[in-house]
Structure 1
Amino acid sequence: MNGSTLRAFFVTATLSTALGWHVGASAQWFPYQAEATEPAFAADGKKTPLAYSPLPKAAKKWDICVSFPHMKDAYWLGVDYGVVEESRRLGVKMQVLDAGGYTNLGKQISQIEDCVARGAQAVVIGAISADGLNQVLKTVAAKKVPVIDLVNGINSPDVSAKSLVSFYTMGHSTGEYLASKHPAGSPAVKVGWFPGPAGAGWVEAAHKGFMDAVKGSAVNVLEPKYGDTGKEAQSKLIEDVLQGQPDLAYVAGTAVTAEAATSIVRARGLDKKVQVLSFYMTPGVYDGIQKGRIVAAPADSMVIQGRIAIDQAVRLLEGKEVHRHVGPKIFVVDSGNLKSIRMEDILPPNGFKPAFEVK
């Protein structure tokens, strides 16, 4: 476990202890309010409400490989909790691999190849790149190994199912909040925008959604600052923008951006002047909203996305009916609804450490 993962774990553990969460609290997580996209994988597909329920148990102990871009922040810790707990509940064998960051596409490709070579029967992938895995997935699919696209989005015809939400909608929800506060005709406000690592499918989608939402409003979005979702990388980008833009009104971006920004603006004495938003949820973002340091963030229920992906893999392996393109329903969390949310669906609970294997 690296330093960043340890920090993510301790943030989670501290917050979870305060809320009284317990590992295993969400064993009966279904039926869950979700949305199915039809036709599956279509960019303009129609979203239909769905009460998602998984299989009660797997028919046999299938071997599933899960590939993550990294576990440097609490977001992927939450996805990890989802895939681990659902693998245990269904009774399958599962291995999680961590590529170490969004700059390590080659490592993720090698890890996927190794997984299939050792005999994994299905592969669940949180992709580093929307297009960079296409060749390896062609090889995987040729071996009749199901591929499940988890969270980030993959532009490949060889994907078997998708468990994800629209990051366009996540970005749009954040931009919509700003546009409603600063409509056309009101004084212009400057927003520093930090969408995440360049080239990642989820980043491109969130960026488009955010920009579409603020179009025609008084929100002036500065040139986007792309970077890896490690705290050090995001902190440097924030510092640079604050240095060059003394009249900045908002910092908006990834959860890591938001978490880093709260410390930076407070240290600079700007917390009354610069407001912070995230376009997805983590324990640190939740804590920031609770303390009034982060305004709001949409929740994409990353734990549930992980659970659904494992269920999809088992359904595909067993030839059972499967929703091939599904994700939890997105909702915005702010100070108004904070206490009414079932947190174990969207964040990892107290005591959960990064887990890499279910036997």
Structure 2
Amino acid sequence: MNYVLKTATALALATAIPAIAMAADAWYPYEAEEVTPAFAADGAVNPVTYTPLEKAEKAWNICVSFPHMKDAYWLGVNYGVAEEAKRLGVKMNNVEAGGYTELANQISQIEDCVAGGAEAVVIGAISFDGLNNVISEIAGKGIPVIDVINGVSSTDISAKSLVSFATMGAETGRYLAEKHPAGSDPVKVGWFPGPAGAGWVEAAHSGFLAAVEGSAVEVLEPRFGDTGKETQLKLVEDVLQANPDVRYLAGTAVTAEAAQGLIRERGLQGEVDLLAFYMTPGVYTGIKRGFILAAPADSMVVQGRIAIDQAVRILEGKDYIKHVGPKIFVVDPDNINDVPQTDILPADGYKPVFSVN
């Protein structure tokens, strides 16, 4: 396989903070992880060095569907898909459904994309199971579907570019469990997994709970909710009101970002620490400034880039890795100054790009 290099060097690199880009003007070769068998929830994870195509053979028409663009996380994925589409020389149309309650809208947008001539579809899914029918219809027309970021249960997809959100949740839980092992004084944690029913939320939820089991970490009743700032802030306020002895608030990046101001206003810095189970520019800045304790990085920009490369490879009948994603690592005050920002986050001041021609 000319796009994968499995060596001792790759293995050594994959055990540390990943080398994001090996050249100043390129995001690749990139130290990533392949899951085998592809699409298996419990598949083996192996280090790979991912190298995308230099250019597409033609200007393929690729549709990209997101749940929303309400937070900087999806802005980062947008940066990845738009930049890779430009680099490869393909057309890209990016639609967003408006939120995790808008499954019907996402399905309709995807159908419109296909009707408009999309030759491949990249989907950041609102629902783990809810898109299976439309994916089956698209795949039945010979149009490849790439599952990016959130995960779907459909077996009709052609590829996955994502990380395990169970691992993301577990890394966050493990970070707390190591700080508060069994036998130490118990601590209460408010837990905000995100919108109920979303595949990535359920995965992160199970991973987090499994990681803290047996430790001194006591997880309060989970507070599920959309990843809009107002929704998350209200959930945080409710937990602080009902649990004045809570020690940590852990959850989505929006939760951590929204809670920063509230914690400062109430003079709770040092008494209530914040964690997110994925990285955004706001979380990164919060860790830098000492307002957020830690978060695992899943390099969402690279996930977007790989999804576009997978789509082009499939359309051109070339070899491709069916199930791959960046290596996850936790960022906290001890390593934040050593972590390269390239491909972990979008460029400073980046505005969303909905169309690449």
When the two structures are superposed, what TM-score results if normalisation uses the length of structure 1? 0.92
- Aligned pair in 2 of structure 1 residues 97, 27: CA closer, same or farther (>3 Å)? farther
Shift of 1:342: 1.9
Matches of 1:340 and 1:272 in 2, distance apart?
Answer: 24
Aligned match of 2:17: none
- Aligned pair in 2 of structure 1 residues 205, 136: CA closer, same or farther (>3 Å)? same
Shift of 1:352: 1.6
Matches of 2:237 and 2:288 in 1, distance apart?
Answer: 24
Contact 1:35 1:327 in 2 (8 A): yes
**What do the CA deviations read for 1:7-36 (whole angstroms, capped 9, x no partner)?**
xxxxxxxxxxxxxxxxxx974000111000
Say which of 96, 101, 122 aligns to 1:124. 122
Matches of 1:297 and 1:350 in 2, distance apart?
Answer: 20
Aligned match of 1:83: 81
Contact 1:281 1:300 in 2 (8 A): yes
Say which of 172, 175, 178 aligns to 2:173. 175
Instruction: Give the 3-state SS of the residue equivalent to 1:270 in structure 2.
Output: coil
Aligned match of 2:277: 279
Aligned match of 1:243: 241
Say which of 146, 158, 172 aligns to 1:160. 158
Matches of 2:24 and 2:189 in 1, distance apart?
Answer: 38
Aligned match of 1:22: none
Contact 1:26 1:344 in 2 (8 A): no
Shift of 1:48: 0.8
Matches of 1:340 and 1:320 in 2, distance apart?
Answer: 36
Aligned match of 2:12: none
Aligned match of 1:350: 348
Matches of 1:77 and 1:118 in 2, distance apart?
Answer: 24
Instruction: Give the 3-state SS of the residue equivalent to 2:175 in structure 1.
Output: helix
Contact 1:34 1:327 in 2 (8 A): yes
Contact 1:84 1:94 in 2 (8 A): yes
Unaligned segments of structure 1, at least 5 residues: 1-24
Task: Give the counterpart letter for 2:190 in structure 1.
Answer: G
Query: Residues 42-191 of structure 1 correspond to what in structure 2 (within 5 A)?
Result: 42-191=40-189
Query: Residues 332-347 of structure 1 correspond to what in structure 2 (within 5 A)?
Result: 332-347=330-345
Matches of 1:251 and 1:31 in 2, distance apart?
Answer: 36
Aligned match of 2:198: 200
Aligned match of 1:19: none
Task: Give the counterpart letter for 1:282 in structure 2.
Answer: T
Matches of 1:26 and 1:297 in 2, distance apart?
Answer: 26
Matches of 1:236 and 1:33 in 2, distance apart?
Answer: 39
Instruction: Give the 3-state SS of the residue equivalent to 2:337 in structure 1.
Output: helix
Task: Give the counterpart letter for 1:157 in structure 2.
Answer: T
- Mapped pair 1:28 → 2:26: yes
Task: Give the counterpart letter for 1:334 in structure 2.
Answer: D
Shift of 1:350: 2.0
Say which of 310, 316, 319 aligns to 2:317. 319
Matches of 2:240 and 2:36 in 1, distance apart?
Answer: 43
Matches of 2:35 and 2:63 in 1, distance apart?
Answer: 25
Q: State percent identity of aligned pairs.
A: 69
Instruction: Give the 3-state SS of the residue equivalent to 1:50 in structure 2.
Output: strand
Matches of 2:107 and 2:173 in 1, distance apart?
Answer: 34
Aligned match of 1:20: none
When the two structures are superposed, what TM-score results if normalisation uses the length of structure 2? 0.93
